Structures are given as C-alpha cells and as structure tokens.
Structure 1
C-alpha cells in the first residue's frame, strides 16, 4: 500500500510518501503565499524521489494551516493529530511531544495508548517559534543552524528581559553594540526560546518520554536548555528529519484509514 501526507505550514511545506510502513520519498520546501501551489510542488518532489506518480498513491491526508486548500488530499486532519501519530510512529515510547513550528509551538501529552490526552498551542505570538529564532539569527548575522551551536561556545549567556520578539530584538541589539560576545548573546536567545516553550510543556504536565519535532529540534542549545527547565531528557528523533513529523503522521493516518484502524 502506498499512502502520502502533506503538511503545509506557514514557513515550510513538507510531504512524505510511505509504502508498506517505510518512507520511500520526502521533501521540504519554503511555503509560498498560496498553499495549493506549495502543496503540489512539495508533493511532486516527494513523488519524484519515490519514483512513482500521484496516481499510485492510494490515500493522502493533509495537515498544517493550509490543509483545507490542498486539492489532491482525501482527508484533512489537525496538526495535533498528525504530529502525535508521527511522533509515536517514529519513537513508540513517546508520551509528550513538543513541536516548534515556524509560527506556533505545541505541547501534546499522550495517554498510555498514544492518543492525545491534553495539548496547548502558542499561536498568538512569535516568541517560542521558529520565526523568533530566524529574526534573532538575522540580527546576529548568523544562520539559524549556527545559532544553535553558539550555546556550546558561550561562557556567560545573556538574559533577555522579554521573550516578546519586538523587545527581545532591542535587547539583542543593545548587547551586540555593547561588545558582548556573539556566542553569549546567541546562547541567551536559545535560553529565552526554551523558557517560552517550557511554559507550555509544564502546563500540560510533560511526562517521559519527551520527543521534540519541528525544525527547532535541530537546535542543540534550545534542546539542552529545555531539558533543564522541564526536568526530562528530550529525545531528538533520528529515524527521519524531525521537521517531517507532521507529514509522516498524516501519511501513517492515511494508512490507518485505508486499513480500517481510524
């Protein structure tokens, strides 16, 4: 059986193709202003890697903020449901999921059967999202990937007075102009990010095992700080790019539907 999942997010769009429980194609692209175009483009890339055509896909589930505008999906499901299913498929012991997207952050607690028991979402403010890190990295003149490495080199991380993106920018500019080492400023940014995310995780009473999905899972500085704040080790999914978790969950849910499990 071949199924697919398409996750159209605010900053990136992802697609995954699964055949008999194995990922055979995937893709990640920058989202455009038109979800339907982003969806088709990313799915075409995933299908090309899988060496199949769209007609070979038996069932496709869409998710993400643009899920209702994906013309080729058979079913649309929430990001919460798809990230939960994807995380458990990638790391079966998962009980809590922290997903940091481009413009939102989600903390999801699962029950013993892997079903969503409680969740909270921060989608009203850029703080605690991938966008926050993008803005700060640009101010520091480094890539988002390099921002994550700064925590390892820092000796005295700065403290940002606010996690509000606007006020945090002012703090960062002031620190840089004062000659504070960039590593210390970058580490402060990572810590501020982790603090915002930890608030959500603690509010859902995060339980082991904690899995982190989304692009920010690749930021070691945020992950390390987050572990200290929530008191649990955070599992970074290695089986696939953590940014693909939502699309993977959508593809697995598509299999569940076809096989009568959902």
Structure 2
C-alpha cells in the first residue's frame, strides 16, 4: 500500500448511468479539477475505464496519484477499478450538498428515471421517491419527443423559450406522447409551444414525486436534463420557487461518489489520513 502525503491527495468519482458515463477528480481542497462525459455503449466496463482516464487527463494528473476511486450509477458494478461502490441516490444527495450546502431537496432527472430526495441539515437522506418503471418524465422521454419534432434534444431548451402558448401534453406514456406530439404538429401548432408543453408535462411528474417526500425551501436540480433551460424554467414554475442549477449539475452523482471517497480515506484520521482497502458492495 502506497503512502500518500497528508497535505495533498486526489480522489475520483465515476458515475455510469443508463445513457452517459461521467467522472470527476477532486483534490484535497475538494475542488473539481478534472471531469469527463461520454455516451454509454454496450461495453459498460470499458466506458467506465475510458471516462476515468479522460478525467485524469483533464486534471493533468496520472491515474496512479488517485488515492481512491468510488463508483455509482446503474453501471457501478462494472467499475472494476473502483474500490468503493455507493448508490446513486446517496451520491446525488451528497453531490448536491457539496456544491449547494443548503440543499434540502434534490431532483435528479436522468436518462431512464427521475428521483426526488429529501435531505436533512447534515446531509442525511430523510426520504426519497423515484419513477423507474416507465421512461415518461425522463431524459428518454425528451429524446423521443425531440425526434418526433425533427430536432435534437439539445435544441429543446432554447426553442421552448420562444413559446407564448404552451400546448398541454396529456399522455403519460412515452410511446403515446410521441403520437400526441406528431398530432399537434399536424394540427399546425407551433413547435416551440409543443416543446414548452413537453417540459411542463415532465415538470408536473417531477412535482408529484417531490410532493411524496416533501417540498423543501431549497431545491437542487441534477442529472443531464438540468442542462435544458426550458426544463429549469418549467420546474421552477411547477414548484413555485427558484431552483439551484450548476454547470456541474450533470456530474453531481460523480461528485457525490468522490466525496464518499474523501470520507473513506479520512475516516479515523486527525488530521492525517491513510489509504484504505475498501471492499466493493
């Protein structure tokens, strides 16, 4: 086991989700100094490895300098080089409070599911609810609707901001929603109004999840869908309050995993820390 200087160390968090793999490198000041993002392929283990290597390159450090790697996400058991495995619910909560310390509710809209996580003042998870039975209200829902409209999902945020009369999307199934979107286009409805309606529909589903656990005063939005300004605005309208969004929001799961790695290597140290052998769950 290699020795590490107490005044400086590096940890990594790798989040392999249903559609993307994210990795971050944190330094001893708990700053994100490197990150990566890529699509997930059928070769999940390779995707995890590649994302980690890219994050190390972005941080300009050798992977051998990483004291501990923590993994999370749907593909966390495929992160074979990681020594610590943590659930994505715990990691999104941890990442949210690391960037926004007063977070009391985390809304994570990912590729295949949506989570509402209520947090206590010390970061403990008080309650959570998730929609993982159907892709309605998730990133996949947006992908399908964007394709039906002839756009990419990255176009939807700015497009929705041109809307003046959002169209109500009533379908709760992704397949039926695609048909509904096509029908609205055929009726001559404006594309931007349809997109705004799609965002509002997803926001209402997220609101239902949030109500199950309890809406709090400070809400943080995580996951890839948080990059969509239209979704941010629709969520704020549904919740009736401003929400926290960061340029790093898509990496909050990976950041949370890295923070768990920090806790693991500093466990029982005052102020020195040691590298631990942590068995994956």
Pick from 126, 129, 136 the counterpart of residue 138 of structure 2. 129
TM-score w.r.t. the length of structure 2 is: 0.89
Farther off after superposition, 52-61 or 70-79: 52-61
Farther off after superposition, 140-149 or 39-48: 140-149
Q: Return the alpha-carbon distance in structure 2 between the equivalents of residues 130 and 123 of structure 1.
A: 12
Q: How many residues end up aligned between the 2 structures? A: 260
Per-residue deviation at 1:34? 2.3
**What secondary structure does 2:37 align onto?**
strand
Pick from 227, 249, 253 the counterpart of residue 242 of structure 1. 249
User: Structure 1, residues 60-114: CA drift from partner, whole Å, max 9, x if none?
Assistant: 1100001111110011000011111111001111110001111011100001211
Per-residue deviation at 1:151? 2.7
Pick from 215, 218, 225 the counterpart of residue 224 of structure 2. 215
**What secondary structure does 2:161 align onto?**
helix
Aligned residue number for residue 138 of structure 1: 147
Q: Alpha carbon RMSD of aligned pairs, Å? A: 1.4
User: Structure 1, residues 7-31: CA drift from partner, whole Å, max 9, x if none?
Assistant: 0001000000111111111000001
Higher-Rg member (1/2): 2
In structure 1, stretches of 5+ residues that fail to align are none
**What secondary structure does 1:7 align onto?**
strand
Query: Does 1:170 find its partner at 2:160?
Result: no
Q: Return the alpha-carbon distance in structure 2 between the equivalents of residues 170 and 49 of structure 1.
A: 42
TM-score w.r.t. the length of structure 1 is: 0.96
Per-residue deviation at 1:261? 7.0
Pick from 7, 16, 21 the counterpart of residue 15 of structure 2. 7
**What secondary structure does 2:71 align onto?**
strand
